Amino acid sequence: MASPESTVAESGGERPEPGELRAPADDVEVPQARGAGNDRPASDSAAVLRGLGLDALVEMLETSGYGVCVTGDDHRWVYLNPTGCRLIGRPFAELEGEDYLLSFAEHERAYLLALEHDQREGDTGFYANTVVRPDGSEVGITWSGSVLHADGKELAPAFFHPTFGLARTDQDAVVLGAAAARIAEGGSVGDVLGSLAEEAVARSRAVACLVLVECPDGRLALLAGAGLPEHLREAVSAADLRLVDLPGGELLTAGRLMLLSDGRTRLAASPSTADIAELTDDLGWEGSVKVPLHRGGVVVGCLVLLLPRAVTAATKGELTAWSALGAHASVALAEERLREQAIAHAAELERHRLGRDLHDSVSAALFSVHARAQAVRRGLRAAAPEVVEEAARDLELLSQQAISQLRAMVTGMRGEAPAADLAAALRELAATCTTRDGLPVDVRVTGAVPPVPAGTIEHLVRIAGEALHNCVKHAKASAAVVSLDGREDELVLTVTDNGCGFDPAAGRGGGHGQRTMRERALLCGGTLQVDSAPGRGTSVVVRVPLSS
């Protein structure tokens, strides 16, 4: 192969500066191309290129966006331009003289050796192979080459460009598994989406990724991203965007994956998104891919991948990877919705519990306080200090009991254990009712009462307390009996009184008190039955099955 100095000398001129284009001298003989064993006159265009001078040709190769290489004897690297070095993943200083086959997937090396023979026979077709970079990532390339002879040496020049790239294919399954693990571990949706966005960029040629999700009012919010400039979150919020406002939004809302080669241009053309396009302009992107995100079968957002200007289309592998990441993001959003619903349900249950507890404890205490206050008023009117004194003592006792009940409610809110002995708790309740309301209550325990959960004890004591309060407030009873019967397969709690009774069919039995008693019975896995009639008292029966 002739050197640059000899070419200049033959032309009779000075050596051109790098990048300078100089017309060939009239008396310069155009050399013949020699390749694949045949000599034929160079085409007119080839003559023009040779006339430019080798320095200019080298400059063109060095600045080309395609990889350009020359290999020689024993498959050694002879030349590799900067673009090729970036694709191979190593500088030429490290590659020079090394076997180029070592930079390709092991199972493809025999195939490459066979192609060398075909090229000697004149084959200049296009082929696809896989470069393996030092970090383990793989780059698919399409290339074409030939075999030339210069100064008795065989040289094989080739041109190549990437067709997919820069993803650690051996990590694909691990990445998706890690994302699923984060979801299963209950990680925040922001952390999961942020991780997915980073992987979407790391495993493709995208320069950045946005995760846009609808707020309850339909506006889009930037929940996570990777490779994004500062203040983009605020710009998205200020734009007040809906999914349909994005370029290609109509098809996106229908669940279609969108690939727009002019995504940045479209974004900049819309007044509502021009600021977003300006903030991301330094990323050097032009195309975009939007992957729809679903929740409950409805598109609620999208992954937006920003592609550099040099990438005019995504590969099948990239689209598959992005779709998989989009599916994981959809799972994370669905998990967040389930978590929100569970929290709301728990809050609703807690509100019901507080309502029951307030009704069953504070309501009864306030009723008794009201009765004692009336006694104080009657004593003052009748100038009976002993009545007032007794009512005052009762008020003091009742206030202490109310404080104790409120503390018990707080204990339940904190998750501390209530009384562990059901019979003892019922006897304490009966004594309180007798002291507070003046109602004699007899507690009778029959059969073997097994240990029951603390929550069941609380519910049964509350049911008995509400039934006794009704004896005082509505039935005007003069006595009541609380019976606890431990049977082989169930526990039966009965509260009976000798009050005036009522007609359950008349609707009076459907008040808040009876409703809370039934709720508590259901929470124990049991049933509640109320039996009453005018003039013959009331009986409340709770049956709770015992686990075998």
Residue 267's CATH number: 3.30.450.40
For 379-399, b where at least 16 C-beta lie within 10 A, e where not — what string? beeeeeeebbeebeebbeebe
Percent of the chain surpassing pLDDT 90 = 24
**Per-residue model confidence (pLDDT) at position 446:** 92
**Does one domain contain both 129 and 257?**
no
| pLDDT reported for residue 472 | 83
CA trace torsion 345, 349, 351, 355 (10° rounding)? 160
What pLDDT, in 10s, does the model give residues 312-327? 667 777 788 888 888 8
Residue 360 lies in a domain: no
- End residue of a domain, out of 314, 334, 354: 334
CATH number at 93 reads: 3.30.450.20
Average pLDDT over residues 513-542: 88
Is residue 393 in a domain? no
- Identify which has the larger pLDDT, 81 or 510: 81
Instruction: Tell me: do 11 and 147 sit in the same domain.
Output: yes
* φ and ψ of 216, to 5 deg: -55, -30
Would 251 be classed as within a structural domain?
yes
Model pLDDT, residue 103: 93
Asked, for residue 215, whether it belongs to a domain, the answer is yes
Q: Is the model's pLDDT at 179 over the cut of 90?
A: no
Which of 205, 208, 373, 361 shows the shortest CA–CA distance to 283? Answer: 208
Pair 138, 217 in one domain? no
Query: Would you state the pLDDT for residue 164?
Result: 61
**pLDDT for residue 6:** 33
149, β-bridge pairs: 154
**What is the pLDDT at residue 40?**
43
Residue 219, SS3 per DSSP: coil
pLDDT tens for each residue of 201-252: 887 889 999 999 988 888 999 988 999 998 999 999 899 999 999 988 888 8
Residues 159, 174 within the same domain = no
Mean pLDDT to the nearest integer, 266-282: 92
| 285 pLDDT above the threshold of 90 | yes
At residue 152 the predicted structure's pLDDT band, cuts being 50, 70 and 90, is confident
- Arithmetic mean of pLDDT, 513-535: 86
**Residues 178, 377: Cα–Cα separation, whole Å:** 73
Q: Report helix, strand or coil for 188.
A: coil
Query: Distance between CA atoms of 533 and 503, rounded to whole angstroms?
Result: 5
Among 22-26, 290-294, 346-350, where is mean pLDDT lowest? 22-26
Residues 116 and 17 in one domain: yes
143 and 183 fall within a common domain: no
Give a yes or no: residue 60 inside a domain.
yes
- My answer on whether 179 and 327 are in the same domain is yes
In this model, does residue 39 exceed pLDDT 70?
no
Whether the CB-CB separation of 25 and 12 falls below 8 Å is answered with yes
The tally of domains found in the chain comes to 3
| Res. 18 pLDDT band, cuts 50 70 90 | very low
Check which CATH number belongs to the domain holding 451 and give it.
3.30.565.10
The candidate with the shortest Cα–Cα distance to 185, out of 332, 29, 374, 303, is: 332
Position 51 confidence tier, pLDDT thresholds 50, 70, 90 = confident
37 and 177 part of one domain: no
What's the pLDDT band for 350 if we cut at 50, 70, 90?
low
| Rounded mean pLDDT, 493-509 | 81
pLDDT of residue 71: 93
In the prediction, which pLDDT does 448 show?
Answer: 86
Instruction: Say what the pLDDT of residue 353 is.
Output: 61
Place of tokens 């998990």: 335
Q: Which of 289, 310, 334 is the last residue of a domain?
A: 334
pTM over 0.85: no
Residues 302, 293 contacting (CB under 8 angstroms): yes
Res. 265 pLDDT band, cuts 50 70 90: very high
Is residue 189 located within the same domain as residue 252? Answer: yes
pLDDT level of residue 415 (50, 70, 90 thresholds):
very low
Rounded to the nearest angstrom, the gap between the alpha carbon of residue 233 and the centroid of all alpha carbons in its chain is 18
CA distance 5 to 55: 10
Residue with tokens 């066979």: 114
Q: Is residue 349 part of a domain?
A: no
Is residue 46 in a domain?
yes
Q: Are 200 and 266 members of one domain?
A: yes
- pLDDT band, residue 354 (cuts 50/70/90): low
Q: Output 160 or 122, whichever has higher pLDDT.
A: 160
Out of 144, 163, 182, a domain closes at: 163
125 and 26 co-located in one domain: yes
* 195 and 138 assigned to the same domain: no
Location of structure tokens 């509260």: 495
Question: Given this model, what pLDDT does residue 357 score?
Answer: 62
> What pLDDT is recorded for position 129?
84
Tell me what the pLDDT averaged over the chain comes to: 77
User: Average of pLDDT values for 456-477?
Assistant: 86
Q: Evaluate if residue 138 carries a pLDDT over 50.
A: yes
Higher pLDDT, 326 or 343: 326
User: How wide is the angle at C-alpha 78 spanned by C-alphas 73 and 79, nearest 5°?
Assistant: 150
Q: What's the mean pLDDT in 395-404?
A: 70
The domain in which residue 547 lies consists of 422-548
Please check whether residue 306 lies inside any domain of the structure.
yes
